[in-house]
Amino acid sequence: MTKKGALVIGGGVAGIQAALDLADSHFQVYLVERSSTLGGRMAQIDKTFPTMDCAI
């Protein structure tokens, strides 16, 4: 029997974090994103404060 997974709706920074943490805990994750790529709003912005790291 296949194991039950978790559904994460939205591939922005919050969804990615939830998905990664679940996947790192050895659960199967289905990450659904409406647009053609992950990243959400954070991928659109330039650097983040205060460390000015790039947002990607």
Partner 1 sequence: MLDAGRHPNIELLTYSEVVRVEGEKGNFTVTIRKNSRFVDEKSCVGCGDCAKVCPVIVPNLFDLGMGARKAIYSPFPQAAPRTYVIDRDACLNKTILVCENCARACKPKCIDFDMPPEEKEFKVGAIVVATGFDEYDPRGWTNYGYARYENVLTGLEFERILNASGPSGGHLVRPADMKTPKTISFVQCVGSRSVGERGYPYCSYFCCMNTIKNSLLAKVHEPDIEKIYIFYNDIRAFGKGYEELYLRAKEDKDVIFYKGKPAKIEEDPKTKDLWIYIENTDTKVVEKIRSDIVILSSAGVPAEGTAKLARILGIELDQSGFFKQKDPTSFLESAKEGIYLCGSAAGLKDITDSVALGSAAALKVSEHLKGQRVKREEEKVIPIQTDGRPRIGVFVCHCGINIAGVVNVAEVEEYAKSLPGVAYVSRELFTCSDGTQRFMQEKIKEEKLNRVVVAACTPRTHEPIFQETCRRAGLNPYLFEMANIRDQCSWVHAAEPEAATHKAKDLLRMAVARAYHLEPLETRQVPMDSKILIIGGGIAGISAALDLAIKGEKVTLIEKSDQLGGRVKELGRLLNSELNGKELIKRKLDELKKRKVKIITKAKVKEVKGFVGNFEVTIEKPPSEKGKKPKKEVLKVGSIILAIGSDLYLPKDKFGYGKFPHVLTNMELEKLLAKESKELKIAGKKPKEVAFIQCVGSREKEGNQYCSRYCCQVAIKQAIELAKQGIHVTVFYRDIRTFDKGAEEAYREARGLGVVFLKYEEDVPPEVLGKDKATTITLSQPLSKTEFELPVDAVILSVGMVPKEEDFAELQNLLKIPRGLDGFFLERHSKLGPVETNTSGIFICGCAHSPKGIADSIFSAQGAAGKACILTSKDHIDLEPLVCQVVDQELCRACGICVKLCEFNAPQLVGRGDGVLVCEINEALCKGCGTCAAYCPTGAIGARHFTDEQIDVMVDSLLVWDK
We find the least distance from the C-beta atom of residue 46 to partner 1, in angstroms, to be: 4
We find the least distance from the C-beta atom of residue 31 to partner 1, in angstroms, to be: 5
We find the least distance from the C-beta atom of residue 55 to partner 1, in angstroms, to be: 8
Number of residues that bind partner 1 (CB under 8 A): 54
Cα separation, 47 vs 10, whole angstroms: 22
Spatial neighbors of 24 by CB under 8 A, at least 6 apart, are none
The neighbour count for residue 38, using CB atoms within 10 Å, is: 16
Chain residues that interact with partner 1, rule: CB under 8 A: 2-54, 56
